[in-house]
Each structure stands twice: as C-alpha cells, then as structure tokens.
C-alpha cells in the first residue's frame, strides 16, 4: 500500500566515485556539496523521508537498455585504467570511451553502474508502493545511448529506471528533460516505444551539444508523437523558458495523463554555467520544479521520480538548485532568499578551490535575487515574439497527436 507523504531520497557517499579526474567539468564535488547543503536544511532528517543507498546495478539490469557488448566495453575500460594501450584506446573509442569527453578510470564500471542502481532503487520505492515520490539527484545521465557513451554519461540511469517501471507494468510514462542539453539518449532508447513519451526543452542543437532535438522529431513508426522537443534559442530568459513550459509541456502532460512522471533537472541551464548559453536563474529552475510537482500531483496520480543531470558550475549553482529539488519533492520548500549557513558557504568555497573553479560572484542565499514572472500561455499568443512562435510551432506539430487543439488548448 502506497504511503502518501513519504518520499525516497537516494544518497550514498560512494556515488562520488563517478569521477573523470580533476580537469573534467563533471566533478563529483557537486554531489558532495548538494548532500551537505540538503542536510544543513534538515531535509534528510524529516520523518517522511526514506533515505536509501545506491547499490551497483548488475549486468542483467544494464542490459535491459544497453547492448551487452557495450556493457562489456565499459568493463574493459575499467580494467584498462588511466593509461590504456593504443590498441585498447582504439577499441574503446568505438563505444565513446577513452575520449576527452568520457575519460576512463579504474572502477569506472562499478561507479557508472551505481548511478543506475540509485535511480533503480528510487523508482522501485514507487513501484512497490512504499512512497509516491522519489528523488535521485546523482542520476540523470541522459546522453548515454544503448551502445555508446557520450556527454559525460556512461550508462543511462534514467532509461534504466523507465525500463524497470515498464517491466513492472506501467502503462504510460512521461520523461521530461529540463537539462540545457537535449535528452538524446533517453529519446533514442524509447524512440519506438508507444508507452514512453519523451519531452525535452533545451538549448537548440543548432548552437549546443549534442546537435539534436528538433521540432520535427516525433518518434518511431510504432510510436508517433512520443518524441517531443522544444529547442530554445541561446540566451533564453527565465520568463520565456517558463512560458514555453506552460504553453507546450503542461497541456501535453495533462493530455497524456502518465501513470508515472520522470523528470530530469540538469542545472546547466543557469546563466553562469560554463558549458551552455541559457540565461536562467536558480529561481527559474525552482519554478519549473514546482510546475513538475503540480503536474505529478494533478496529472500523474502523484507518482513522480525526479533526477539530477548536468550542471558544471559545481560549487555555487548545482548544490543550491538540487537542494531546492529535494525540498520541492519533499513538500519542504525553501525560500529563494533563505540564507545559506556559513558552514555550507565555506564548504562551497573550499569545493570551488579544490576544483579550480572560482565562483564568479558572491552569494549568501538560496537564490539569485530575481523571482521570475512570466505571462501564462492562456493570456494569448504573441506572433511578434520569437519564443511564442517557437512554442506555437511545437503545439502545431504535436498537439493534434494527443487530441489537443494547438490554437486553443
């Protein structure tokens, strides 16, 4: 029997072993700092929290979404260690491994499989009725494809969690990706599965990795209308990003009425993230989390799995954004102007120093000091606004497939 109000939170210090080395943008200090900041606000100690660890997913789990030969290649990469031979490197490059993007390291197979295990453990709490919601901020490795690593992602934990839910009998799953980069791996894995609708709002592939995720993409022949992309222009402001979510994503999820909502909350859409060009704030990211919570509650029967994702301003943006994520999933919202304890500020400064990343500005609160206000789509379409034209194009391309009128719904 599901216990309303209980939420599973995945945390395990061993998750920090997913570490590509000191010069790599995806430094695990972002996970360490998030867990510490969440603890400082008492989130892990709330009586309704089920704090669970992240086991290492075994090969049979990984192979539900990944080619067995690729899984073996990751094991080979782990065995090769930091200095593979030329022959080993040539072999591993075929799978997207041993590259500047996805360097290899000893223990890589176990560390990558633990991320999958964490997200599987989280969704299992929902599937087995121990809670309605779960959050695994170490997950969200959305670029990994069935037979190829990429975008700092080795195994695709989001897809593995969705596959586990399908195996348990879920009828309709919506995967919503809010990362600044297109959720290409999850889309590819479920491209032809009518039970899974992937929705990704991201900086356009015309200007950002991985160069995919356009409006005309719509799913495979057995699953038309189940791949939905909203490619936003570089420099998108909070009010336009939130208006796009309101105008395109909200009506679609309400029409689909998933039995499970899975969301990915990459923090790299922030204005100071070094690897992208959006102009969002912590407050905008938090507003989107609140919108996801409302959709989970009103359109998905309350069943919600929230994941982390990208985020390369590792000491100042990611910990704040994902602490808000944990709080929102727990119904323990933190005000954006809430002060950060001095001990945690020092921990963030130390984390930035360790990684060589200098925070670009001083901050002492959980927000950026700018609460977004957006014009809801119901207020009317503005044909002179480029983002409105983009959203209307998405609506025209995808709404009819779900029984919605692109002009009025």
Q: Which residues are catalytic?
A: 143
The greatest distance separating any two alpha carbons of the chain, rounded to the nearest whole angstrom, comes to 61
Q: How far apart are CA 62 and CA 55, in angstroms?
A: 13
CA atoms within 13 A on the CB side of 213: 32
Token pair recorded at residue 249: 């994503």
- Measured from the Cβ of residue 406, the count of other Cβ atoms closer than 10 Å reads 18
Rounded to the nearest angstrom, the gap between the alpha carbon of residue 263 and the centroid of all alpha carbons in its chain is 6
Strand 304-307 and strand 260-264: the pairing is parallel
- In the DSSP assignment, the letter for residue 25 is S
Handedness of CA 8, 11, 12, 16 (dihedral sign): positive
Q: How far apart are CA 35 and CA 29, in angstroms?
A: 10
- In the DSSP assignment, the letter for residue 280 is B
- Measured from the Cβ of residue 223, the count of other Cβ atoms closer than 10 Å reads 18
Contact between residue 88 and residue 80 where contact means Cβ atoms under 8 Å apart: yes
- Element containing residue 108 per DSSP (H, E): helix 108-127
Phi-psi region of 211 (alpha: psi -120 to 50; beta: other; left: phi over 0): left
């Amino acid at each position: 029997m599901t216990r309303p109000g209980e939420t599973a939170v995945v945390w395990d210090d061993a998750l920090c072993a997913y570490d590509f080395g000191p010069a790599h943008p995806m430094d695990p200090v972002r996970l360490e700092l998030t867990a510490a900041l969440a603890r400082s606000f008492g989130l892990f100690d709330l009586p309704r929290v089920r704090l669970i660890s992240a086991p290492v997913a075994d090969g049979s789990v990984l192979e539900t979404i990944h080619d067995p030969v690729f899984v073996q290649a990751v094991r080979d990469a782990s065995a090769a260690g930091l200095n593979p031979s030329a022959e080993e490197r040539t072999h591993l490059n075929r799978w997207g491994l041993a590259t500047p993007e996805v360097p290899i390291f000893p223990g890589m197979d176990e560390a990558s499989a633990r991320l999958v295990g964490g997200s599987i453990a989280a969704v299992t709490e929902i599937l087995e009725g121990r809670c309605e919601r779960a959050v695994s901020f170490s997950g969200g490795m959305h670029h990994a494809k069935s037979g190829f690593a990429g975008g700092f992602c080795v195994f695709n934990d989001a897809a593995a969690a969705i596959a586990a839910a399908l195996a348990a009998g879920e009828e309709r799953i919506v995967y919503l990706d809010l990362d600044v980069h297109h959720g290409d791996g999850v889309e590819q894995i479920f491209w032809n599965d009518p039970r899974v609708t992937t929705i990704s709002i991201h900086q356009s592939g015309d200007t950002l990795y991985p160069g995919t995720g356009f409006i005309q993409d719509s799913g495979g022949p057995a699953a038309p209308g189940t791949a939905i992309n909203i490619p936003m222009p570089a420099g998108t402001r909070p009010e336009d990003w939130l208006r796009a979510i309101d105008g395109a994503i909200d009506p679609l999820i309400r029409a689909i009425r998933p039995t499970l909502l899975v969301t990915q909350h990459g923090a790299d859409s922030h204005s100071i993230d070094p690897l992208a060009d959006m102009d969002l704030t912590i407050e905008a990211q938090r507003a989107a989390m609140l919108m996801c919570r409302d959709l989970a509650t009103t359109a998905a029967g309350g069943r919600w799995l929230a994941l982390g994702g990208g985020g390369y301003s590792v000491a100042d943006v990611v910990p704040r954004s994902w602490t808000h994520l944990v709080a929102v999933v727990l119904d323990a919202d933190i005000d954006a102007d809430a002060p950060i304890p001095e001990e945690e500020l020092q921990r963030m400064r130390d984390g930035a120093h360790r990684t060589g990343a200098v925070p670009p500005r001083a901050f002492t609160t959980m927000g950026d000091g700018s609460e977004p206000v957006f014009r809801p789509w119901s207020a009317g379409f503005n044909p002179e606004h480029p983002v409105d034209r983009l959203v209307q194009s998405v609506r025209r391309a995808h709404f009819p497939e779900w029984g919605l009128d692109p002009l009025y719904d």
